């Protein structure tokens, strides 16, 4: 044993007396992924995911899909249907995440009721929300839009509270 080996064994502990060939045999695989010096073989190395993303960004032919939040966050359409047949178009607007303010003044009572019933069912099916705004006016909103309304009784209580505190 040489002085250098004794010094290494004193500081680093006893060394294993493996031959280089024995060490290489431990890392042999069927795919020959590892070269004999312990480095990855470049031709068999797995693809770099970051590199593939960079290539898809650089490649102008790659398809890019917009994130849903990149679209306008909300849109309200004011629609005055002239017949029940326009109800399917209104449902398509709701499915594309657009709110619909429906004015039924151009329809008779029977058709108005049919349109409201049909749209109520469609709105419920997409987990949306609906609110009666006034006589013959309804708001239908998809699930991503929350409708907050203040009831007339809570409005009266709030007005009574504010007028009472202002006079005292």
What CATH number corresponds to the domain at position 128?
3.30.110.150
Q: Judge whether 79 lies within some domain.
A: yes
Q: Dig out the tokens for 163 from the structure.
A: 């007028």
Angle in degrees, CA 71, 78, 111, rounded to 5: 130
Q: Judge whether 80 lies within some domain.
A: yes
Q: Judge whether 95 lies within some domain.
A: yes
Q: Judge whether 87 lies within some domain.
A: yes
Domain span at residue 31 reads 1-49
Q: Dig out the tokens for 117 from the structure.
A: 């019933």
Q: Answer yes or no: do 77 and 121 share one domain.
A: yes
Q: 83-114: per-residue pLDDT in tens?
A: 999 999 999 999 999 999 999 999 999 999 99
Q: 138-155: per-residue pLDDT in tens?
A: 999 999 888 887 777 667
Instruction: Provide the domain count of the chain.
Output: 2
Beta-sheet strands, E only, within 15-103: 76-79, 99-103
pTM of the model: 0.49
Query: Do residues 99 and 140 make contact, with C-beta atoms less than 8 angstroms apart?
Result: yes
Q: For the chain, give the percent of residues with pLDDT over 70.
A: 55
Q: Answer yes or no: do 77 and 132 share one domain.
A: yes
Q: Judge whether 67 lies within some domain.
A: no
Running DSSP on this structure, what letter comes out for residue 83? S
Query: Do residues 136 and 106 make contact, with C-beta atoms less than 8 angstroms apart?
Result: no
Q: 34-74: per-residue pLDDT in tens?
A: 445 545 444 444 455 555 555 555 555 556 666 666 555 67
């Amino acid at each position: 044993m040489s002085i250098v080996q004794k010094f290494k064994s004193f500081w680093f502990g006893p060394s294993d007396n493996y031959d280089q060939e024995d060490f290489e045999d431990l890392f042999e695989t069927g795919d020959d992924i590892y070269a004999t010096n312990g480095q990855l073989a470049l031709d068999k190395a797995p693809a770099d995911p970051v590199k593939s993303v960079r290539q898809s960004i650089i490649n102008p032919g790659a398809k890019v899909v917009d994130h849903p939040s990149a679209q306008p966050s909300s849109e309200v359409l004011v629609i005055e249907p002239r017949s029940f047949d326009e109800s399917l178009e209104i449902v398509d607007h709701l499915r594309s995440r657009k709110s619909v303010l429906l004015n039924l003044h151009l329809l008779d009572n029977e058709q108005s009721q049919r349109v409201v019933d049909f749209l109520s069912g469609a709105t419920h099916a997409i987990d949306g929300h609906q609110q009666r705004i006034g006589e013959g006016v309804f708001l239908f909103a998809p699930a991503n839009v929350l409708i907050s309304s203040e009831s007339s009784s809570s409005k009266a209580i709030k007005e009574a509270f504010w007028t009472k505190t202002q006079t005292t």
